Amino acid sequence: MPPRTTPTQRQKRLGAEVRKMRTSAGMTAEHAAGLLGVDRGKISNFESGIRNISPERLRALATHCECTDERYVDALAELATFPQRNWWDEYREKLASGFLDIAELEWHSRRIQTIQTVHIPGLLQTEDYARSVFGAVLPAFSRLEVELHVAHRMDRQRVLSREQPLGYTGYVHESALRMRFGGREVTKQQLSSLIEAGERDNVTVRIVPIERGSFPGAGHALLYAESAVAQLDTVQLDSAHGPEFTYTEEQLAKYRAHLDWMDEACLSVKASQDVIHSIIHEL
Final residue of a structural domain among 80, 96, 125:
80
Which residues make Cβ contacts (< 8 Å) with residue 1, sequence separation at least 6?
51, 52
What integer pLDDT is reported at residue 176 of this predicted model?
96
Return the percentage of the chain with pLDDT > 70, whole number: 97
Q: Which of 80, 105, 135 is the last residue of a domain?
A: 80
Residue 162 scores a pLDDT above 80:
yes
Phi, psi of 237, rounded to the nearest 5 degrees: -115, 145
Question: Residues 175-179: what's their mean pLDDT?
Answer: 96
Confidence check: pLDDT of 3 > 90: no
Q: Please give the average per-residue pLDDT across 180-199, as a whole number.
A: 97
Q: How many angstroms separate the CA atoms of 151 and 127, rounded?
A: 8
75 and 121 fall within a common domain: no
Which pLDDT score, from 0 to 100, does residue 99 have? 96
The arithmetic mean of pLDDT across residues 181-199, rounded, is 97
Residues 53 and 183 placed together within one structural domain of the fold: no
In this prediction, residues 144-157 reach a mean pLDDT of 98
Give tens-digit pLDDT for 209-223: 999 888 777 777 899
- For residue 206, list its beta bridge partners: 171
Residue 125 has what pLDDT?
98
31 and 133 assigned to the same domain: no
Indicate which CATH number applies to the domain containing 123. 3.30.870
Residue 195 confidence (pLDDT) above 60:
yes
Lowest-pLDDT choice from 63-67, 82-86, 134-138, 224-228 = 82-86
Q: Model-level pTM?
A: 0.93
Query: Where is the domain boundary, 19, 53, 80?
Result: 80
- The reply to whether 53 falls in a domain is yes
Q: Across the chain, what does the average pLDDT equal?
A: 94
Q: Round to whole Å and give the CA distance between 232 and 1.
A: 26
Residue 3 lies in a domain: no
What integer pLDDT is reported at residue 5 of this predicted model?
A: 65
Tens of pLDDT, residue by residue over 42-92, are: 999 999 999 999 999 999 999 999 999 999 999 999 999 877 789 999 999
Are both 271 and 152 inside the same structural domain? yes
> Do 93 and 76 belong together in one domain?
no
* pLDDT score at 255: 95
Same domain, 144 and 129: yes
Q: Do 158 and 278 belong together in one domain?
A: yes
Backbone angles phi, psi at 29, to 5 degrees: -65, -35
Does residue 10 carry a pLDDT above 60? yes
- Is the pLDDT at 2 greater than 70? The verdict is no
Domain limits for position 58: 9-80
Q: Report the alpha-carbon distance of residue 90 to residue 72 in Å, rounded.
A: 31
User: What is the number of structural domains in the chain?
Assistant: 2
- For the domain that residue 58 is a member of, what is the CATH number? 1.10.260.40
- The confidence score (pLDDT) of residue 242 equals 82
Residue 4 is predicted with a pLDDT of 55
